[in-house]
Amino acid sequence: MPQEYRPRRSCLAVPGSSQRFLDKARGLAADEVFLDLEDAVAPAAKETARRNVIAALNTGGWGGKLVAVRVNDAVSRWAYRDVVEVVAAAGRGLDAIVLPKVTDPGHVVWLDLLLGQIEQDTGDERGRIGIEAQIEDARGLAKVDEIAAASPRLRALVFGPADFMASIGMASQRVGAQPVGYLGSDAFHYPLLRILVAARGHELAAIDGPYLAIGDLDGLREAAVSAAALGYDGKWVVHPGQIDVVNEAFSPSQNDYERAELVLDAYRYYSSAERRGAVMLGDEMIDEASRKLALVAAAKGRAAGLRRSQRFEPPAPGGSAEDAPRGEGLGQPAGQG
């Protein structure tokens, strides 16, 4: 989990070639917008899109959203000018670069170095602009651990199902949906878990890719809830109508959030004031591992704007843990000294 948790529940793709979509995206409830110079932009429109994106970044007005630009991949002919022109002219309006089709850690190192050169030249803060690396083919997945370790600028690993499906020869064209005929329960389980483990091993966010059937909100919900249950922080959205479903899927429930905050407070109190490493909260034992789980749910809940309605109250002096917080039944677990 990153130190400073920034919500990325919904990451909205906005084609840089469409002024109308760029204008509209400002008012939408996505946690992140990324202005796309890659696959949503035809080769003939790349230069216009770059100019539009620079203007959109300089105009600002994105509220508290994370703002990113997806450049073309590191071995394409557009990539260096995407980075140099956009960051030199509008880097201050930018939180991250999304780098697609990362197949080798060298791609990330290249981008890190180039960003550093531009920052020295413009006098902007060194290292502020982050990198979100898309893992979208067999080669990238095979090297995902090295990729995740390639730069301190990395903020997130992003699964790219469309390119990945093509890369491994999956017999389906329904991007993000389960392929018909597959007998397992989730054809994306392996890449999703592989990417998640690499991301967490380097304290990065893990983001699922798009679900392209924009009219199928039930299918989108199913895919998003499943990725959230696995541990993902968010998912791309390719249409404004997908944002609410995805934000909801990646927000903890009010109950889970309240419980997480109570666990953190209770554990902090009992592990310091009473020097106990394991206590009961309701009918469940909590310990250091529970605290770590609670940290994640609390961070996600706060980031999603949830508010707590319950407070932890330490027991009165001389009272026992059983009298403790608001009848939650904190106490000594059976068999613990």
The nearest distance, CB 136 to Mg ion, in angstroms, is 5
Give least dist CB 234 to ligand GLV, A. 14
Smaller CB separation from Mg ion, 31 or 36: 36
Q: Pick the closer one to ligand GLV by CB: 18 or 332.
A: 18
Q: How far is the CB of 266 from ligand GLV (least distance, A)?
A: 42
For the bound state, the minimum distance from the C-beta of residue 12 to Mg ion, rounded and expressed in Å, comes to: 15
- The residue ranges that bind ligand GLV (CB under 6 A) are 100, 134, 136, 160-163, 209-210
The smaller minimum CB distance to ligand GLV, of residues 112 and 163, is found at 163
161, interface contact from Mg ion, ligand GLV, none, CB < 5-8 Å by kind = ligand GLV
Pairing verdict, β 66-70 and 284-286: unpaired
What does the binding site for Mg ion look like in residue numbers (CB under 5 A)?
136, 160, 163
For ligand GLV, which is the closer residue by CB, 209 or 315?
Answer: 209
Task: Please say which residue, 188 or 250, places its beta carbon nearer to ligand GLV.
Answer: 188
